[in-house]
Structure 1
Amino acid sequence: MVLFMPFAAASLFLLQSLLLKRLGGRGQDTLTVHAAYMLLVAAGCLIAWAASDSSLRISPGSIGTGLLYGIDFALTMILYAKALSCGPLSYSSFCFSASMLIPVAASSVLWGEKLSLPQVIGIAFFLLSFYFILVVDAGRKGESARPEKRWYGYALGAFVLNGLLSVFGKLQQIAVGGETAAFLGIGFLTASAVALLASLVLSGRGARTNRAGERARPAAALQLTPSSGFPWLIIVALAATTGIGNGLVVWLTPKLAGAFLFPSVNGSVIVGLLFASRAVYGERLTAAGWTGAMIGVAAVILVSL
């Protein structure tokens, strides 16, 4: 049963990406939205912690890694949302999910986990898939179909930071051996605070610009009232997919080898979103792009052996 859990987490992350992509086109203050759903996730985790441990004990290790996880998570989702807003879903999700190479490498280097030959080949296939989709496919498209230049910075940042999330989660589980709900509660509470602080800073800058008589930036601040069209349903759905998905991954890190867990989750998201980007948003891949997608399918199979 545990072996099927990574694919359940992947399904949740796939839905999360589709929701973030939809959110990017609404002109909403995405930082405020991030802060809202992260706060909901934190509340759920802290309630689960209180229900499972009446003494509310928590180790310093969980507090420290939780703070790092939260700061990293907030920055990751902000950069990923930025990438989705100015680039294709297929490319953005590929870079985001391909970050599994970072925790796989960390599991091998830091914790001495050995890679089997099929898993090594599978990871190499992921890199080959990366090349076909982001280099060959992008090169064969017209200028108007390519991502904006700023997209590359957002995608690279999301790639690195998302990979570090799994490293922090595994570090906490190895060092502490439990306290998952408390760890995630602190993490998402921190993430919500970071996103809200960033939103307030940008809102303050927009207010100063208005007072100076300059043209204000769009969506500088968002009023949290029903009349403003605040996407509450999307926020609840984001909270559910984010909280349950990340909770599953953290819970699974001590139970499954990193070389199996992270490629299974992120590789499945890569393949699923490539097809979803075509079905939902009509994003077209060239023959090279579909070749990369098929290589990605093969890679998921190999790393699962």
Structure 2
Amino acid sequence: MSSSFPEYPGSVMISYAPSNTLDHDSSGIYSILICINGRAASCGIMTGTYRTLRNRAAGRELYTAGTVSIPGLYNGYFDALQYSIYVRKRFRMKAARWPGTLWIVRHGESAGNLARDAAMAEGAERIALSTRDVDIALSHRGEDQARALGEAFAGRAEDERPEVILASPYDRARATASLFRSAGGAVADTPICVDERLREKEFGILDGLTVAGVATVFPDQAEFRQLLGKFYHRPPGGESWCDVIFRLRSLMDTIALHYPGKRVMIVAHQVVVLCLRYIIENLSEEQILAIDREGDVANCSVTEYRFDPGLGQEGGMALIGYNMVSHLEAATAPATAEPERTAGVRG
């Protein structure tokens, strides 16, 4: 990386119609094109606050100084008189707060799924689990599902695979992410970043109970949930969907800060998938619960968004597909859905 730009005369110009102000300050993030002797040399991003002066004859505005970042070429302060940078405001970096692509994956089938099925078949009030929810591992089929997802992504070009993977700290989610990467779903050194904000919805005193168990052991909570609905009902020591949404809004702010324009994959849980849809698509309670009623989010299913600069005033994430399992159907790992572990939530 060079320490400075080639010293060619030029100016920093914005090719949009000038306003009525003779001079003013501007702040923002812009796409830029570096030109040397009238020929395009490189492109990058310019950020900061700049003093602009009107060039009435040219009908353009001139930036006199600012900060420029050009991947692989230069980072630092620039003097507009040393080289030419054309800044097109109509290509302003609307994607600055969004990833370029976002995949949201539910973890593979877990051993807790099998234990729950057995409890329901026996009419038991409690699911026979000897470990914490956070420590519940993938079933053998869940491992196969994670590998099948990785193999499906391995067949894509590198720029169609995740650059970073964010995972819930729960064992079944971390294992899904790791098996996905090992199977070629992402390059070997793609970071898997564990983030506790992606954890499973916390069940509190209802943890480990079946639907029948909640009605028998905590009939008042069964009544509260019936009255309030799953979106607002918070069992003692646990979370409502609103609580999950609150922490996921913080997560999306982190993604906007650290991974704008990147290809990001999230590996988490069913309620997290649904609550992220609520946030990203600005849904109402009624809309997200209607989606939930359509069926469970399948294990190792993919929900995909891509940034669309034409959505709204600042661009937004367009839903490409929800609960997609074609990669499992094409492999030897059948799709599964893990129904409600308790009366209050799905895992």
Report which of the two has the higher share of strand: 2
Normalising by the smaller structure, the TM-score range is: 0.3 to 0.5
Larger % of helix: which? 1
Give the number of the structure with larger relative contact order, counting CA–CA contacts within 8 Å between residues 6 or more apart.
Answer: 1
Higher Cα Rg: structure 1 or 2?
2
Q: What is the TM-score of this pair, normalised by structure 2?
A: 0.30
